[in-house]
Structure 1
Amino acid sequence: MKVALFDFDGTLYPYETFNVLIDHLKHHPRYKTNYGRFVRKFAPIYFAYKMKIVKKSKMQNKAMEYYLLSFKNNTRSEIESFFKEVASDMIDDLRAPLVGKMRQLKQDNYYIMLISGAFIPLLEAVFEGFDIDCIVGSEIKYKGDKLDYRSRFERVYADRKIDIIRQHFADKQIDWKNSEAYSDSHTDLKMLELVGRPVAVKPDDRLKAIAARNQWQIHTD
């Protein structure tokens, strides 16, 4: 079996998802009060990051965690409806050539995995109707009908992606040499190295240098 691994932020979607989420929360007529709760909680971590006391990865993890916590008083249906609203504004900005490539690979019997740090309900809403075999993202946990704010939040990022990929395909025979992977960031380097056909999509400087050195395909808009 051949697989095709796709990142989302900066790859299938050309912008930073979290910035879009923040903008929606800030201006939403119903949930803009959530934005205030998010800012009050997140501000100390952000300032610590700007002062180089906190690493970027920790700051990003906390940003997503505190974003979810701003919905502490909302129901599951309200949260999922909000993400669907955001998704509806993102769909038209997907990179059409990559979406076409994904569909072609599916027709060619590749197993398609979308693996991203974005929230799962957002990813599922963006790709509703797409024939994707597996969507992996950062999980939102609930207790009954409300957010389980006491559970540990885990962002799917960097090496965690590799762990998930290996676990998912552990009992399957994978033709890694003829498999493909798509990402824009050097943080996905291990994922790209896992396959025989890595593609750097509008890569950051570090990944661009690695891709050029290894003669990987580089996709530019």
Structure 2
Amino acid sequence: MKVALFDFDGTLYPHETFETLRAHLKDHPKFKKNYKHFVRHFAPTYFGYKMKLVPKIKMQHRALESYVLSFKGYSKKDIDGFFADVAKSMSTELRTTLLEKIKELKDENYYVVLISGAFIPLLESLFKGVGFDYIVGSKIHYKGETLDYKSRFERVFADRKIDIIKEHFKNKEVDWKNSQAYSDSITDIKMLELVGQPVAVTPDNDLLSVAQDKNWKILTDL
């Protein structure tokens, strides 16, 4: 089995996903009242980050956690509907070159995986019909049909991606040497090193340096 791993934020989607989510919550006709709850919960961590008292990773985790908590009291149907609205607007900005590449890889019988820190309902709505064999993202927990705001939130990020990938494929024979991975960020370096054909997509400076040093494929004109 050959595998193709795709990052989302900055790779398939060229913008910062969280900023897009923040703007949609602020302006959404039905859910914009949630925005003040998000800000109230997130503000202390954000200001701590600006004062260099809180690490960036912790700040990013708190941002997503605060976002979920702003939907306290809402049903799964409501939350899925909100993410479907966001996905509809984001869909026009996906990188078509990579979407075409996914179709090509599917035709070549690759097992194609989307692995991201973005929320699962957003990813599932955004890529419905695209053909991913497996989608990994940050889970939103429910108690019955209502948001379970007491469950611990876990952001899928960096090394956690590797743990999930290895767990998913532990009983499968994977041809890693002829597998591919696509990402824009140095935080995904271990995911890129896992395969024999890594691809740096409009990479940040750190990843660009590594990709050039290792003679990896680099995509910039997308």
TM-score (norm: length of structure 2): 0.99
The aligned residue for residue 187 of structure 1 is 187
The C-alpha deviation readout for 1:1-60, integer Å capped at 9, x for no partner, is: 000000000001101111111001001111111000000110100000011111000000
Please state how far the C-alpha of 1:92 moved relative to its aligned partner. 1.1
Q: Which amino acid aligns with 2:15?
A: Y
> Residue 176 in 1 paired to residue 173 in 2?
no
> Residue 3 in 1 paired to residue 3 in 2?
yes
Measure the CA separation in 2 of the matches of 1:16 and 1:101.
22
Please state how far the C-alpha of 1:171 moved relative to its aligned partner. 0.4
Please state how far the C-alpha of 1:214 moved relative to its aligned partner. 0.3
> Residue 130 in 1 paired to residue 130 in 2?
yes
Measure the CA separation in 2 of the matches of 1:37 and 1:142.
19
How many residues are treated as equivalent by the alignment?
221
Q: What is the correspondence of 1:74-85 to structure 2 with a 5 Å cutoff?
A: 74-85=74-85
Measure the CA separation in 1 of the matches of 2:129 and 2:176.
27
The aligned residue for residue 24 of structure 1 is 24
Please state how far the C-alpha of 1:61 moved relative to its aligned partner. 0.3
Measure the CA separation in 1 of the matches of 2:200 and 2:103.
18
Q: What is the correspondence of 1:144-159 to structure 2 with a 5 Å cutoff?
A: 144-159=144-159
Q: Which amino acid aligns with 1:173?
A: E
> Residue 100 in 1 paired to residue 127 in 2?
no
Q: Which amino acid aligns with 2:172?
A: K
Measure the CA separation in 1 of the matches of 2:12 and 2:38.
27
Please state how far the C-alpha of 1:100 moved relative to its aligned partner. 0.5
Q: Which amino acid aligns with 2:14?
A: P
The C-alpha deviation readout for 1:77-120, integer Å capped at 9, x for no partner, is: 00000000000001111101111011100100000000000000
The aligned residue for residue 35 of structure 1 is 35
Please state how far the C-alpha of 1:130 moved relative to its aligned partner. 1.4
Unaligned runs of 5+ in 2: none
> Residue 213 in 1 paired to residue 216 in 2?
no
The C-alpha deviation readout for 1:115-173, integer Å capped at 9, x for no partner, is: 00000000000001111100000000000111111110000000000000000000011
Q: What is the correspondence of 1:198-209 to structure 2 with a 5 Å cutoff?
A: 198-209=198-209
User: Secondary structure of 1:129's partner?
Assistant: coil
Q: Once the two structures are aligned, what percentage of the paired residues are identical?
A: 62
RMSD: 0.5
